[in-house]
Amino acid sequence: MNALLRRVWIGLAATLIVSLAAVVLPDHVQIQDDGRIHLGAPASTPSPSAVAPTPESTSPPLTRDAVDEVIRTAVSAAGLDPEQGRPTVAVGASMNRTGWVAVREKAAAQSEMDTICADLERQGWTPNPNGDRPDASRSYKRGGWYLLVSTRGKTQAPSTTSALTDSQTYLTLTGLQLDLSDIPLPEITVRIG
């Protein structure tokens, strides 16, 4: 009985890990019809039912300074002053992370987020439709960077910020540089039962 429970728990844990990976990195996780899960580069012969991921624009790798400028431009396009918000990562603290956050009225935050997202697409950022919630968060990728645009309520507020009123929320842009192309990931088959 213990061996069966152990196999069930291992199967559940593997399924959870793969599911999370599929949401965060949809281009690097393919689940085939036969139950095989491929991590890493797309399989050489994808099944006919597999949906091809949206190709990323062929842009050179971006620097943190370039991503900071992208964020400032998108925030300005939404009619906001980038200086009214604050960076989420100190300048020079990390070259592969950046971000911006501002307290906004809930009534305006959604349209501001929509405008920011439209400007990111105008700047050549590729949207990632997997796992996004259009009313709360959207993610984009370009030049080795991933950007998450979100509105966060006060229950998810960063601990270093002031308290929000019931009519306020946080408008946040978070950038993270990831390069997973050099990491060889094995093929994993998950079977339960």
Tell me, what's the pLDDT at 157? Answer: 47
Give the separation between CA 18 and CA 79, rounded to whole angstroms. Answer: 39
Q: Is the pLDDT of residue 121 over 80?
A: yes
| Domain residue ranges of the chain, discontinuous segments joined by + | 64-177
Cα 27 to chain centroid, rounded? 12
Tell me, what's the pLDDT at 43? Answer: 47
Task: Please count the other Cβ atoms lying within 10 Å of the Cβ belonging to residue 92.
Answer: 7
> pLDDT tens digits for 83-105?
888 888 877 788 889 999 999 99
Q: Which residues lie closer than 8 Å to 116 by C-beta, 6 or more apart?
A: 74, 75, 77, 78, 149, 171, 173
Q: Is the pLDDT of residue 154 over 80?
A: no
- Residue 119's DSSP bridge partners are none
64-177 CATH pick, 3.10.350, 3.30.70, 3.30.1490, 3.30.310: 3.30.310
> pLDDT tens digits for 25-81?
666 666 665 556 656 555 455 444 444 444 555 567 888 899 999 999 999 999 999
Token pair belonging to 27: 């281009």
More confident residue, 35 or 164: 164
More confident residue, 93 or 126: 126
Tell me, what's the pLDDT at 71? Answer: 94
Tell me the average pLDDT across 11-25: 63
Tell me the average pLDDT across 183-191: 57
Tell me, what's the pLDDT at 155? Answer: 47
What does the mean pLDDT of the chain come to?
A: 75
Q: Is the pLDDT of residue 125 over 50?
A: yes
Q: Is the pLDDT of residue 2 over 50?
A: yes
